[in-house]
Structure 1
């Protein structure tokens, strides 16, 4: 039985390699699903087990400068990805309706292949969001939604660009996601820059609204497929998966919206703790790199455990 299982896995691996688009075979992390799956498995293990245990008896690292540089780089990277998606089809030849996969080696198709891979690779860079949380001992910010989103996105995108790197209408959600990340990492960079920038972060609540709008746009765009009289998109399975992805994450982020802004479970609270000079402090602490941490709601986990059961943050 074990030999049969190994043979089946080997045949599946060979099939996947044979189906990999020749235009993307030589890009890093595209030779086999084993590489990227191993990285993501190590990421999950580090996030929920090894990292918290490593930091349990250590002081949190002060990484504000590193986070400012990181967030700025992510803003620039995602802005470049947006530009490349637009120039490789979405602002040039695409109709924004039934846009097919381009299997050619035209300059525009190859440009779409490159930016699709770059978007995929950027998801591995984004794993540093979680690394910053672990090293700063902000375990309460590493929720199920956070870990699932950061691990599922690059894993699912490997399969997408293996078969459809110039994905036509199937690449719209990547364009929207990169656009949203330009806004998000701008916000996180300002958050990491210190208290003097707090007055520029009044739009915190709108971050979740932007996320929700993203999934609505993705779902509406991809839903066109079901109402067209004829659309010969080459990989209809991706249409169904993208629609389910948009709907699923809309529900998850809607839950956060309800918890934070309707039920008030994560709204800022005022800290009235006395200072050394006898005065009281009234301030809100805003976390960088994906999460907002309010004074009075802090939970610092030093026993290596992690909150995974409840969606708290975006």
Structure 2
């Protein structure tokens, strides 16, 4: 497939411009990796298709098993994995993050729409945005990294059988909602700047996709928060499923 980018070929948002940078940061050729992502961005659809296919057939298979897989050890290990560094590896990390759902399916837990919709679409969008060298990319990745750092620690502790205050789970979901609000604002602001003719290294196609995705995430996370914590059910705590 032909490379679909770029509207702003001189963009350098992924090159290190900090007061201190490690040697491997300076040696990283972001334009080469962005070019590869652009030439192969359709690969993200293959990952998402395989992911949704696993969900469908995995649930069918698990319905034939009298007991779910326990997977306590592997689940705990998975949640304490070291986060990928910087933007490119952040994008690539979205593919192995699909394994989160493997644990949900094999343990016969309830798989909500928000969980697999978020996983499948965020992989495609982040891949596309990176190949576009979107100027909003650092906002997206920094917010996501921050939320995930707390979230995966929380789920790793739960997987180890450690009881965590319900208020912490609520705060994580609130932080996810705030992330979606901020993501929507940043994307709309970038759209405004670009519409006004101001220099903004992002394509309109990425902006349209970003606005649609962030708004849909906000709606779904808000619904999840309300139904999980204010649904009026005594078993509402059981609805606290992992969503990232």
Bin of the TM-score, shorter chain as denominator length:
0.7 to 0.9
Which segment is superposed worse, 232-241 or 55-64? 232-241
1:205 aligns with 2:174: no
- Structure number with greater Rg is 1
Deviations 1:195-236 (A, max 9, x none): xx2145542222221111111222233343366566211324
SS at match of 1:220: helix
1:68 aligns with 2:76: yes
| Corresponding residue of 1:36 | 44
| Corresponding residue of 1:24 | 33
1:54 aligns with 2:61: yes
SS at match of 1:123: coil
Cα separation, partners in 2 of 1:201 and 1:255, compared to 1, 3 Å: closer
Cα separation, partners in 2 of 1:170 and 1:239, compared to 1, 3 Å: farther
Structure 1 residue 261 displacement after superposition:
2.4
Cα separation, partners in 2 of 1:70 and 1:286, compared to 1, 3 Å: farther
| Corresponding residue of 1:163 | 132
Check whether the contact 1:170–1:239 (CA below 8 A) recurs between aligned residues.
no
Structure 1 residue 178 displacement after superposition:
1.4
Aligned partner of 2:187 among 194, 213, 222: 222
Structure 1 residue 135 displacement after superposition:
1.2
Check whether the contact 2:147–2:172 (CA below 8 A) recurs between aligned residues.
no
Check whether the contact 2:184–2:215 (CA below 8 A) recurs between aligned residues.
yes
Structure 1 residue 258 displacement after superposition:
2.1
Aligned partner of 2:83 among 77, 87, 112: 77
Q: CA RMSD in A?
A: 3.1
Distance 2:87 2:175 in 1: 22
| Corresponding residue of 1:136 | 107
Deviations 1:151-197 (A, max 9, x none): 11111222212221xx3334311210111111111111111111xx2
Within 5 Å, which residues of 2 pair with 1:256-295?
Answer: 256-265=224-233, 267-268=234-235, 290=242
1:243 aligns with 2:208: no
| Corresponding residue of 2:96 | 125
Check whether the contact 2:75–2:159 (CA below 8 A) recurs between aligned residues.
yes
Cα separation, partners in 2 of 1:120 and 1:201, compared to 1, 3 Å: same
Distance 1:55 1:260 in 2: 25
Aligned pairs, number: 219
Within 5 Å, which residues of 2 pair with 1:175-190?
Answer: 175-190=142-157
Give unmatched runs, 5+ long, in structure 2. 10-29
Distance 2:35 2:201 in 1: 23
SS at match of 1:168: coil
Cα separation, partners in 2 of 1:137 and 1:23, compared to 1, 3 Å: same
Within 5 Å, which residues of 2 pair with 1:90-129?
Answer: 115-129=86-100
Distance 2:3 2:103 in 1: 38
| Corresponding residue of 1:299 | none
Distance 1:173 1:244 in 2: 14
Give unmatched runs, 5+ long, in structure 1. 1-12, 82-114, 270-283, 292-313
